[in-house]
């Protein structure tokens, strides 16, 4: 859902989104399944018959009313009637807070029929009463709701500030938030109520809310006050089915900026409280309430259609039927960690609504999102180099200050030399004493210079290690995200109970190893930060000693030889500064190379996944003897040309005698009789024979092209024999030369 709640350019208060930032790794994603949880509301009347029962923490049983055996539904998490707000938060949302602080995007939205408890989960009990307490001047958290009963929004905000306050550098974090509602397909700002806002789309496909206010804050209490203010402005009206029915969809966006040694990481958390679907015969709505219900049902129907399309793997998903689906597009299919909490009422009279909710939640359980790597703002990408340049500038400034002191005090030193030439003013013992003092002073200056350079190198090494650890941490996050997305788990630390001995033991081993590596990296980061702080403190003390020696220096110099010697010492100090500059540049280049190596590693993994996908699709097409559409035939032709080009450029035609033209490539489009193999594919060679697609002869022409696909695919491919003979003639010519 990144970049969904942005303001259009020029609107004043723009929310920073993914379109306004750039990362060196933003083009690499990993698949992660949407996490689905179901929460059952307590019975409103203990005598009511129950249609839903909890079988386990992942399974529930639904009584359809016309069957003897209840139907079983499996989800990631199931919360019974006795579950608390704290249980729901710790299981579904708490782990996302740390991810947001690390630069990821995350979203949580509540789904269900009216009166099923969505607003209670997201906002807590009686949000209107909390707003009234705020108007009376009682702004404490306890006056609004107890800590245990508070909703996911307030708990998430509290945890964000808790993590920031416990961090080593709280000043490196900045928090801002926006709050809007969709009422009758009109977008309204809840923090700055006014007229309806427009929803636009930029040239990159990002949704922009024009004029939406974003408020920066540094206080947990201030955020809660803003939430209370927004909840008071939200449209809530009583109906026959729910006395505190939310008549609008509410979307809260929290943006966290984290200043790190490699740049400013931006994470965003989206918390959405959807209005409940309703039936007019049960709500007994008339007039305005009936119109509101129609808009709510229309937007939820569009959301349900999107869930059906995504779960079914449709190539095209229509998000444009509603403003709600446009804003939730990134949460459902974009670069975001997403949790859906479906709410159901257990009473038998709500059986139809409960069944619809369970069915949609089950379909959403098959949706896969593409997780974006931590966003690093472009303007801070050169932060380490700027830090090193500042260090070198300080060294050169210190050398210049020493030179100026020596030049400014030269006349006084000449007068001291003339006084020394008078034999009646100085005795030999005094001269010896001055020489010893000057020698001691010179040694102190040299030691101070050496100590400063040693401390600066230590700072440089600490910064270099921190950069390396940041990259190592990103690599481990990539491994964790990859394996947990394959296992369909929420991105979270593994507990002992999570280890299951099955066919995926390799994934469990890799996950545990990655988490152990990540823990070790975090400890190393903490240790090097402590080293850096201690080194900066020692360097400051050393600078103070150097300043004291500089003030004492002019009075002790009594000859041009000593002045020349100290000039040489300054020159050595200046050369050391140049050396540090070169080292800083080298370390910065090494860090950039490591970052690019990580990019290449991720790109290689994505390439292999694409090869597997193409191979599987090719096999399915051939086995099913499916007639290929025109655009797919063109893509296969381009694909075969790419194989020829890459094979020729890599020099693999030297293996022409063996016929291995396509080793380590995807299964090519040609006859099996030519002996081509594809060892690099995940499929066996038997998958490619026989093929219902028209083969290609030695001259690059299609044999019997009208058999399945119709007209031949152009342009024609170059002849293999002609390329081979051309290559051989080139070799013979070069050997003759």
CA distance 690 to 711: 21
Residues near 238 by beta carbon (within 8 Å), at least 6 away in sequence: 244, 245
User: Residues 83, 246: contact at Cβ < 8 Å?
Assistant: no
Q: Alpha-carbon dihedral of residues 148, 153, 154, 155, nearest 10 degrees? A: 50
The 10 Å Cβ neighbour count of residue 95 is 17
Rg (the chain; Cα; Å): 35
Helix (H) or strand (E) holding 253: strand 249-260
Identify the residue whose tokens are 């009166």. Answer: 115
Identify the residue whose tokens are 């040489």. Answer: 568
User: Integer distance in angstroms from the first to the last C-alpha of the chain?
Assistant: 63
Residues making up the annotated binding site are 112-119
User: Residues 211, 7: contact at Cβ < 8 Å?
Assistant: yes
DSSP 3-state of 113: strand
Angle made by CA atoms 31, 607, 599, in degrees to the nearest 5: 80
Q: DSSP secondary-structure letter at 243?
A: T
- Cross-strand pairs, 270: 107, 253
CA distance 351 to 364: 20
CA distance 581 to 698: 61
CA distance 349 to 610: 49
Q: Give the count of alpha carbons within 13 A of 5, CB side only.
A: 31
Q: Give the count of alpha carbons within 13 A of 517, CB side only.
A: 18
CA distance 158 to 141: 11
Can you read off the two tokens belonging to residue 451? Answer: 């100590």
Q: DSSP secondary-structure letter at 57?
A: S
φ, ψ dihedrals at 650, nearest 5°: -85, 0
In sign, the C-alpha dihedral spanning 564, 570, 573, 578 is negative
In sign, the C-alpha dihedral spanning 52, 54, 59, 61 is negative
Q: DSSP secondary-structure letter at 702?
A: B
Residues making up the annotated binding site for ATP are 112-119
Can you read off the two tokens belonging to residue 353? Answer: 């609504």
CA distance 735 to 295: 79
Can you read off the two tokens belonging to residue 450? Answer: 């050496």
CA distance 566 to 405: 11
């Amino acid at each position: 859902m990144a970049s969904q709640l942005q303001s259009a350019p020029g609107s004043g208060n723009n929310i920073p989104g993914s379109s306004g930032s750039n990362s060196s790794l933003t083009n690499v994603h990993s698949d992660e399944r949407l996490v689905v949880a179901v929460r059952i509301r307590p019975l409103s009347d203990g005598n009511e018959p129950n249609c839903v029962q909890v079988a386990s923490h992942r399974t529930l049983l639904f009584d359809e009313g016309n069957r003897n055996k209840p139907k079983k539904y499996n989800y990631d998490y199931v919360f019974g009637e006795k579950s608390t707000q704290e249980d729901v938060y710790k299981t579904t949302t708490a782990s996302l807070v740390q991810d947001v602080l690390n630069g990821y995007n995350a979203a949580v939205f509540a789904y269900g029929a009216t009166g099923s408890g969505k607003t209670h989960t997201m906002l807590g009990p009686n949000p209107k009463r909390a707003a009234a307490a705020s108007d009376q001047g009682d702004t404490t958290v306890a006056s609004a709701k107890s800590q245990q009963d508070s909703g996911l929004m307030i708990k998430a905000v509290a945890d964000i500030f808790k993590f920031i306050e416990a961090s080593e550098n709280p000043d490196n974090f900045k928090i801002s938030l926006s709050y809007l509602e969709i009422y009758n397909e009109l977008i309204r700002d809840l923090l700055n109520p006014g007229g309806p806002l427009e929803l636009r789309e930029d040239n990159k496909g990002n949704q922009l809310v024009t004029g939406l206010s974003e408020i920066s804050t540094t206080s947990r209490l201030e955020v809660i006050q803003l939430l209370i203010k927004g909840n008071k402005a939200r449209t809530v009206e009583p109906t026959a089915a729910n006395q505190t029915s939310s008549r609008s969809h509410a979307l809260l966006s929290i943006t966290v900026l984290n200043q790190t040694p490699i740049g400013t990481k931006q994470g965003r958390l989206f918390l959405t409280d959807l209005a409940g679907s309703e039936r007019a015969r049960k709500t007994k709505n008339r007039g305005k309430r009936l119109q509101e219900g129609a808009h709510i049902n229309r937007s939820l129907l569009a959301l349900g259609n999107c869930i059906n399309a995504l779960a079914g793997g449709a190539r095209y998903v229509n998000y444009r039927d509603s403003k709600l689906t446009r804003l939730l597009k990134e949460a459902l299919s974009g670069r975001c960690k997403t949790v859906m909490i479906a709410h159901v009422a257990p009473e038998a009279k709500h059986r139809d609504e409960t069944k619809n909710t369970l069915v949609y939640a089950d379909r959403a359980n098959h949706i896969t999102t593409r997780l974006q790597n931590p966003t690093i703002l472009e303007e801070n990408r050169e932060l380490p180099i700027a830090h090193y340049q500042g260090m070198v500038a300080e060294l050169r400034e210190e050398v210049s200050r020493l030179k100026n002191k020596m030049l400014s005090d030269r006349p006084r030193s000449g007068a001291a030399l003339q006084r020394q030439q008078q034999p009646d003013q100085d005795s030999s013992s005094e001269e010896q004493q001055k020489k010893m003092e000057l020698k001691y002073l010179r040694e102190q200056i040299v030691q101070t210079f050496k100590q400063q350079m040693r401390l600066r190198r230590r700072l440089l090494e600490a910064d270099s290690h921190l950069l390396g650890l940041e990259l190592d941490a990103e690599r481990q996050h990539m491994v964790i995200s990859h394996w947990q997305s394959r296992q369909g788990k929420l991105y979270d630390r593994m507990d002992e109970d999570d280890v299951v001995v099955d066919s995926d033991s390799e994934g469990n081993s890799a996950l545990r190893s990655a988490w152990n590596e990540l823990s070790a990296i975090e400890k190393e980061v903490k240790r090097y930060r402590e080293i850096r702080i201690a080194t900066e403190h020692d360097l400051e003390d050393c600078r103070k000693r150097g300043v004291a020696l500089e003030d004492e220096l002019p009075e002790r110099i009594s000859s041009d030889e000593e002045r020349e010697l100290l000039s040489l010492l300054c020159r050595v100090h200046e050369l050391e500064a140049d050396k540090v500059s070169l080292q800083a540049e080298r370390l910065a280049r090494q860090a950039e190379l490591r970052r690019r190596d990580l990019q290449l590693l991720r790109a290689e993994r994505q390439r292999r996944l694409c090869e597997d996908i193409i191979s599987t699709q090719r096999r399915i097409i051939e086995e099913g003897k499916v007639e290929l559409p025109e655009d797919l035939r063109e893509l296969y032709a381009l694909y075969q040309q790419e194989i020829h080009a890459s094979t020729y450029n890599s020099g693999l035609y030297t293996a022409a005698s063996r016929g291995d033209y396509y080793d380590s490539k995807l299964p090519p489009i040609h006859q099996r009789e030519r002996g081509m193999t594809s060892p690099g594919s995940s499929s066996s060679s038997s998958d490619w024979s026989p093929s219902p697609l028209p083969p290609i002869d030695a001259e690059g022409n299609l044999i019997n092209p009208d058999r399945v696909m119709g007209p031949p695919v152009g342009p024609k491919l170059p002849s293999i024999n002609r390329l081979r003979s051309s290559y051989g003639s080139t070799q013979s010519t070069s050997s003759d030369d």
